[in-house]
Homo-oligomer: A and B are copies of this chain.
Amino acid sequence: MRLLLVGDIVGSPGRKALCEYLPRIKRAKRPDLIVVNGENAADGRGITRAIAGEFFGMGVDGITLGNHTWDKREIFDFIDDEPRIVRPANYPEGTPGQGYTHLRFSRGELVVISLMGRTFLSSLECPFRTADAILKSLKENVPVLVDFHAETTSEKQALAWYLDGRVSAVIGTHTHVQTADERILPGGTAYLTDVGMVGPYDGILGMDKDLIVKRFLTQLPVRFEVATGKVQLNAVLLDLDPATGMASDIRRIRIDDDHPWFD
């Protein structure tokens, strides 16, 4: 089975880029399931019901989130009713929404788990133990994709090694920059430190670069805005063995002005 994971989609430029490129990627690569990280989809902060619907309308099967999950207040109105959206599973008990979900397609199913790192982020439950608990509840050999939304490379690599052989893939999100370290760990788990983002190519993490540079220079509060102009799309393609759930291939996708997509 083939799985496409698309990184943090930033604002309307990100949604437009997805709309433009997803059909072409689908035609060329024929993924069985498509998962996107939607934490920045609405103006760079959070997601709305309408935008989630937009994604599902494009053929997206599941949406993961991250530290920006709650930025649009309407999330509290719909997250409990939408089983295809997952927020980090290591938020404390009682948090709205769900931390993992089962996605089904004609020939099988996939469990998608969202987890968030704690280093330089929120004081959540231990992501390692949360993963253990979820995996324990699943039936054996089901393919499992972990979107690990974390800041540091050390926490990301640590979770990947910890879960090696127990999940199909650990793919990082959050830094908005694709890393070049895709590999299959010895136990069969595909790993990529960060899948990168979808949205403006000439911004800083998708946001207007002048505003962010200004903030670094002045240390004054600056209201960030999504950048405009050219776009980029970063994603990763995973081939999983449906019998064992383990990965047989991992390939990065990078589309931008310097790396145009050819059908």
A interface residues with partner B (beta carbon < 8 Å) = 70-71, 91-92, 94-95, 118-120, 122-126, 128-129, 151-155, 157-159, 161-162, 175-181, 183-184, 186, 193-194, 196, 202, 204-205, 209, 212-213, 216-221, 252, 254, 256, 258
Contacts and interface: CB of A to CB of B under 8 A. Distances in A.
A221 B104 CA distance: 33
A239 to B, nearest CB: 15
Contacts of A155: 216
28 contacts: A70-B220, A91-B219, A92-B129, A92-B218, A95-B218, A120-B120, A128-B216, A128-B217, A151-B151, A151-B152, A153-B177, A154-B205, A154-B212, A157-B177, A158-B204, A158-B216, A161-B204, A161-B213, A162-B213, A162-B216, A177-B179, A177-B180, A177-B193, A178-B179, A178-B181, A179-B194, A180-B196, A180-B254
Most buried by B among A91, A123, A212, A217: A123
A125 B91 CA distance: 12
Contacts of A123: 118-119, 123, 126, 219
Contacts of A179: 177-180, 194
Contacts of A205: 153-154, 157
A162 B92 CA distance: 17
B221 A71 contact: yes
Contacts of A152: 151, 175
Given A92-B219, A125-B125, 5 more contacts: A151-B151, A154-B205, A155-B216, A158-B209, A158-B216
Nearest to A68: B221
A155 B212 CA distance: 9
Contacts of A157: 177, 204-205, 209, 212
A72 B88 CA distance: 33
A226 B161 CA distance: 16
A204 B71 contact: no
A39 B112 CA distance: 38
A193 B254 CA distance: 15
A208 B118 CA distance: 21
